[in-house]
Copies of this chain bind each other. A is one copy, B any other.
């Protein structure tokens, strides 16, 4: 695999950036990888475990001279980071991000990008419940989708080069409008996460059932919700604040649907329930066929770090 970018700067050194670093090293996709994180401890860990060749105490220093700059910070922090690094960006450099929402990122970052620098917003559909510099692993992006939302008129070669980078990490790429991205993700990710959080919260508040019982007997389906609900609180707070309209849209549909099922239960309408569950099982099979899951245990994630 050949070098695609001479110098890559990772702003933020958590699960996503760390996995990118490990994948780039494994495939030899970058000559140099440098990074910045706000906390000294994170910077030191990243250096110590070999994620990056150098760390910097400021985002600006990390971004200077880099060919690719990856914004891997919470969406709420992107405005300030983009403003800080903008004067230091090399002409011809590419700036990308890995945020879970795209319209808000474009609004926050695009105004700061100087002429001659390419802005290619992106979103890898990958992750685990773990956070921090030690959480990453090189195979995170294998067979996962990486979505890009470049603006009209963005430099085609710059987009293609970034697509090649992530494809070399094992990802499949797709381009779309930021608004469309945010709606699709509201359906497939953001609202499911909110629902999982809510169910765990209900269990937490319930006094008639002891907490230890909820915890002990949680292998019964609830466990899957708690895994989703263990995601990084800061990242998810920003996702909901920044993808508000799409999430509220989907939430409204969800509660309407839930009330229909609730009513079927109250009225003992077994046929309605059975039809509904049969239909949803078919969607599950569609997902396995699309290669986005496997019937195998571990979702086929052999070698995942725990």
Binding site for B on A (CB under 8 A): 76, 125-126, 129-130, 144-145, 147, 180, 183-185, 187-206, 208-209, 211-231, 233-234, 236-238, 240-241, 244, 247-248, 250-251, 253-255, 257-259, 261-262, 265-266, 268, 270, 273-274, 276-281, 283-287, 290, 292-299, 301-302, 304, 306
Contact = CB atoms under 8 A, between A and B. Distances in A.
A284 B226 contact: yes
23 contacts: A125-B219, A147-B217, A183-B208, A184-B217, A187-B203, A192-B224, A197-B261, A201-B276, A206-B253, A212-B290, A217-B292, A226-B280, A226-B283, A226-B287, A229-B284, A237-B277, A238-B270, A240-B265, A240-B273, A241-B270, A241-B273, A295-B306, A297-B306
Nearest to A130: B295
B197 A184 contact: no
B214 A257 contact: no
Most B Cβ at <10 Å: residue of A129, A195, A217, A254:
A217
Most B Cβ at <10 Å: residue of A221, A230, A273:
A221
A284 B227 contact: yes
A229 B278 CA distance: 9
A230 B293 CA distance: 13
A134 to B, nearest CB: 12
A19 B97 CA distance: 47
Nearest to A193: B221
A294 B305 CA distance: 12
Given A215-B287, A230-B285, A255-B259, 17 more contacts: A130-B295, A145-B219, A189-B217, A189-B221, A191-B199, A194-B261, A195-B195, A198-B261, A201-B280, A205-B253, A223-B293, A229-B284, A230-B280, A244-B268, A294-B306, A297-B299, A297-B302
